[in-house]
Amino acid sequence: MNYYFIDYENVHADGFIGIENLGENDIICVMYTEQSKTFSLELVEKIVTQKAKLESYKAGTGAKNSLDFQLASYLGYMIAKGEETENYFYIVSRDTGFNHLVDFWAQRDINVKRIINFAENEKDPNMVVLTEEPKAKAKSKSKVSDTNKATKEELLQYLTEEEYSDKILEIFNSYKTKVAINNGLSKEFRDSQKSSAIYKKLKVLLKEKQKS
């Protein structure tokens, strides 16, 4: 299941760009305030025609960053509630302060990302913001030892011939962390359901290869 927590006060209607890419396994949680409660008829029509489930929560007023606190609290609640299943969580906001929240959960092997909207990042590299900087990726890539790498035969123990590709093997062997591998799969497939399914099947092998 994929959960999207929208900081509507921050992104407004722009945060819904690419919503047509979502499916029935996606849940959108819109966080808004008294100052940002207006939805255009065009946006409403666009939302209701999608398969994704929509929830909305109004944040209290009178306290600074009340929406951010509510979003962070509800995110933690949903992570704990779904700890028995494989879930992915996305914070839809331009607020870079949420990167610290992403890093906090990444250290606990929870799949959380901050994005600007639902659009595919290949269409516009500024659409999706990952907390892992390019330099950090390059550093991880250069330090992957042979013992942490997998072979095609090993991947085929977990994936079918139809699911396997040399690109998946390249991603698996290029990075030493689960978060980086998950990010790589997401960028490669641009399909959250497909990348999630591949990552889930490889979790045992990731552990065997000591991907942190």
1-51: pLDDT as tens digits: 889 999 999 999 999 988 888 888 889 999 998 888 778 888 888 888 888
Q: Which residues pair with 114 in a beta bridge?
A: 91, 129
- Give how far Cα 89 sits from Cα of 3, 49, 79, 92, 111, Å: 5, 22, 8, 10, 6
pTM attached to this predicted model: 0.58
Res 123: pLDDT: 39
Res 199: pLDDT: 87
Res 144: pLDDT: 63
Distance of CA 51 to the CA centre of its chain: 19
Res 120: pLDDT: 43
DSSP per position, the chain:
-EEEEEEHHHHGGGGGTTGGG--TTEEEEEEE-GGG----HHHHHHHHTSSSEEEEEEPPSSSTTHHHHHHHHHHHHHHHHTTTS--EEEEE-S-TTHHHHHHHHHTTT--EEEESSSS-TTT-TTSEE-SS-HHHHHHHHHT--GGG---HHHHTTTS-TTT--HHHHHHHHH-SSHHHHHHHHHHHH--HHHHHHHHHHTHHHHHHTT--
Q: Give dist(CA 109, CA 103) in Å, integer.
A: 10
Low-confidence ranges of the chain (pLDDT < 50): 120-142
Res 39: pLDDT: 80
Res 45: pLDDT: 85
